Amino acid sequence: MSEQVRQESVGVQTGETLVDVNGLKTYYDDGGIIDSNPVKAVDGVDFEIKRGETLGLVGESGCGKTTLGRTLIQLEDATAGEVLFDGTDVTELSGTELKNWRRNSQMVFQDPESSLNDRMTVGEIIREPLDVHDWETPQERRERVRELLDVVGLQPEHYYRYPHQFSGGQRQRIGIARALALEPEFVVLDEPVSALDVSVQAQILNLLEDLQDEFGLTYLFIAHDLSVVRHICDRVAVMYLGNVMELGETEEMFANPKNPYTHSLLSAIPEPDPTADKERVTLRGTPPSPRDPPAGCPFTTRCPMKIRPEKYEDIDPDLWVAIEVFREVLRERARAEKSLTEIAKEKLGMETRFSDIDEIRTELFGDLDVPSRVREHVEVAANHVEQNDEHAAREYLADEFGSICDAEDPSMHVVSDTGRTSNCHRHLPDYQEPDEFTPYTER
């Protein structure tokens, strides 16, 4: 929304912080029998949201976006850190205080098909938060619902209909009306248009923008569709494995991403012109389990720009990928949730799937020209594996081929005049980006 419109409509000071998030963590401990590590869905994030702005939150599915959104409005308990709303840490609220504060922050859910109770009329659905908070008189609540129907572009006669009588777009309008019933300041929009047809998406996005202008709303807009984010968000936070990797003004970031993960993510946006010369970065593998994120940078196991030890800076990119994959295979196997049968087999000294190191070595290095200064280290690690000491193999490879990316959690660095921040060691003077970007190919 334009700054002018925002100021005129709600008379707020632009730039004023509404939500201030510091060191926020949300862990789930689901009591697994074999692996008792908690799932680190949100793993220490810091950011703020200005009053009246739309902050986008993007990243692959499972990166922690929705958990973060839910934690901000206290639908999930924070494990650590604070969420300050106008200076009040809402993670500390409980009972009546929490209930009263909840009026101020609401959520619109992704799936309008399942987020509305089909046994309630539209009027009852929208009125429910007013009833829960004992808002004014019953008659005033009914009037408020009629007003909200109008605000979101529905008709008065829709009051007595049921959700199944509506299209997806109309159902999302009902969800939005319900979220706005108590006049919140802050709304988490969790993939609000991704279940809708493209033409309906545009209508709902326009509605959200109009409502923001009219009521001075502040949005956290969670999405995986980057073109939608580009359209609607003032700033964007890019998440990976529970961490914010880059945060800054939308247009600037889309035009010139600074973090390797943002670069990969944005390179996957389809070009309207298929002949346009655009380099697409293919990331190998999948993100690691949030139950066992890597030490160091969260993106270290897949990063195409990972910092190498100086003595290996000159080796062939394909060979470097093979070394990285070799390390990742050993790491994956260490953390794999083994079945009870596998554990029993190990305990009984029977042969398990951990015996195929030769196959892995051939697969990864067989077609490559491997200089002896690399081969000797791969051999030592393979020998450790053969002797059933995978831990020693992993440690050996980490000592030989590891870098700051494996060992140290990067911190946020300011990377532009507008205050954009990026979570990457490449911004340190010693590790500036290489001139030539050599993305990994898929193996």
In sequence order, the β-bridge partners of residue 42 are 26
Q: x-or-dash pattern for ligand SF4, window 385-414, by CB under 6 A?
A: --------------------x----x----
Tokens of 50: 């200005």
Query: 197 and 168 in contact (C-beta within 8 Å)?
Result: yes
Q: What is the 3-state secondary structure (H, E, C) of 208-236?
A: HHHHHHHHCCEEEEECCCHHHHHHHCCEE
- Helix, strand, coil percentages (3-state) for the chain, rounded to 5, are 45, 15, 40
Of 126-134, 305-313, 371-379, 393-401: span binding ligand SF4 (CB under 6 A): 305-313
Quick check: 300 binds ligand SF4 (CB under 6 A)? yes
Largest CA distance in the chain: 83
CB 298 within 8 A of CB 242: yes
Q: Which CB atom, from 306 or from 394, has the smaller least distance to ligand SF4?
A: 306
Q: How far is the CB of 441 from ligand SF4 (least distance, A)?
A: 17
Q: Which is nearer to ligand SF4, 74 or 300 (CB)?
A: 300
Helix (H) or strand (E) holding 260: helix 260-267
Stretch that binds ligand SF4, among 103-111, 181-189, 279-287, 292-300 (CB under 6 A): 292-300
In the complex, the smallest distance separating the C-beta of residue 433 from ligand SF4, rounded to whole angstroms, is 9
Distance in angstroms (rounded) separating the CA atoms of residues 43 and 244? 9
360 SS3 class: helix
Tell me the closest approach of the beta carbon of residue 347 to ligand SF4, in angstroms: 37
Of 303 and 357, which has the nearer Cβ to ligand SF4? 303
Q: Please state, in angstroms and rounded to a whole number, the distance separating the CA atoms of residues 437 and 1.
A: 36
Kindly indicate which of the ranges 80-88, 201-209, 296-304, 329-337 contains the residues binding ligand SF4, using the contact rule CB under 6 A: 296-304
Degrees to nearest 5, angle at CA 279 with 276 and 280: 110
Q: What's the rounded Cα separation, in Å, for the pair 163 and 110?
A: 15
Which one among 141, 306, 308, 420 touches ligand SF4, defined by CB under 6 A? Answer: 306
Place of tokens 């060992």: 407
- Work out whether 221 is an interface residue with ligand SF4 (CB under 6 A): no
Residue with tokens 């939500």: 19
Count the residues of the shown chain that bind ligand SF4, applying the rule CB under 6 A. Answer: 14
* 361 versus 427: smaller Cβ distance to ligand SF4: 427
* Residue 277 beta carbon to ligand SF4: minimum distance, rounded to whole angstroms: 25
- Among 126, 246, 424, 440, interactor with ligand SF4 by CB under 6 A: 424
**Among 303, 321, 364, 374, contact with ligand SF4 (rule: CB under 6 A):** 303
Q: Going residue by residue from 249 to 268, which x/- string records binding to ligand SF4, judged by CB under 6 A?
A: -----------xx-------
Residue 305 interacting with ligand SF4 (CB under 6 A): yes
Q: Indicate the residue among 26 and 300 with the shorter CB distance to ligand SF4.
A: 300
Inter-residue contact 307 to 404 (CB < 8 Å)? yes
Which of 340, 339, 336, 331 is closest to 360 using CA atoms? 331
Positions that interact with ligand SF4 (CB under 6 A): 260-261, 297, 299-300, 303, 305-307, 405, 410, 424-426
